[in-house]
Amino acid sequence: MPAAATTDRPQATDLNQPLWFLTNLSKVRLDAAASSGTLDVVESVGRRGEMPPLHVHQREDEYFVILEGEITVYVPGESRRVGAGEAASAPKCVPHTYRIESEEARWLAISSPSGFASFVATVAEPAEGEALPPADTPVGLSRLEAAAAEHGIDLLAPPGTLP
């Protein structure tokens, strides 16, 4: 029998596995292993009003491409409401957050270079099917803070805080 193939590429995330990441249903579509470290693509679905903590990526630029619904992206001195077919960016080293404005929204979070997908995989729990997590699911802040620090993300303030 032939020997198993080996590679020097990083360990791949289980691409397309449904994950409960914070309050969203997310799937890693492309990670460091699949892109040679150049970028990540994470697809997410979330509910109206959901916001991650105000944060800064020290290593990656982040781009939001809206597939369905509307999201407002906040960076210092600017808020930009983006809908289906539109995009917004949050450069590295710039505090940012977003809020879902429609009943639900579906978007791609693209980061360059890669790194964000690994953070998502570290923090997320396997989802129970293709549904959003229950609305009252608590976010494990100590786990989130530890993973963020490990991935070069500074959490600046709790959800709901704007830059």
Q: What is the pLDDT of residues 117-140, one digit of tens each?
A: 999 999 999 998 899 998 887 777
Indicate whether 9 belongs to any domain: no
Angle formed at CA 92 by CA 87 and CA 93, multiple of 5 degrees: 135
Indicate whether 46 belongs to any domain: yes
Range of the domain at 85: 19-127+137-157
Indicate whether 146 belongs to any domain: yes
Mean pLDDT score, 44-52: 96
Look at residue 12 and tell me whether its pLDDT is greater than 60. no
Tracing tokens 């809908």 back to the chain, one arrives at: 83
Indicate whether 28 belongs to any domain: yes
How is 48-108 classified by DSSP, letter by letter? TT--PPEEEESS-EEEEEEEESEEEEEETTEEEEEETT-EEEE-TTS-BEEEE-SSEEEEE
Quote the number of domains for the chain: 1
Residue 33: which CATH number?
2.60.120.10
pLDDT of residue 9: 33
What is the reported pTM? Answer: 0.88
Instruction: Please check whether residue 52 is in contact with residue 22, taking contact to mean a CB–CB distance below 8 angstroms.
Output: yes
Mean pLDDT score, 89-112: 98
pLDDT of residue 35: 95
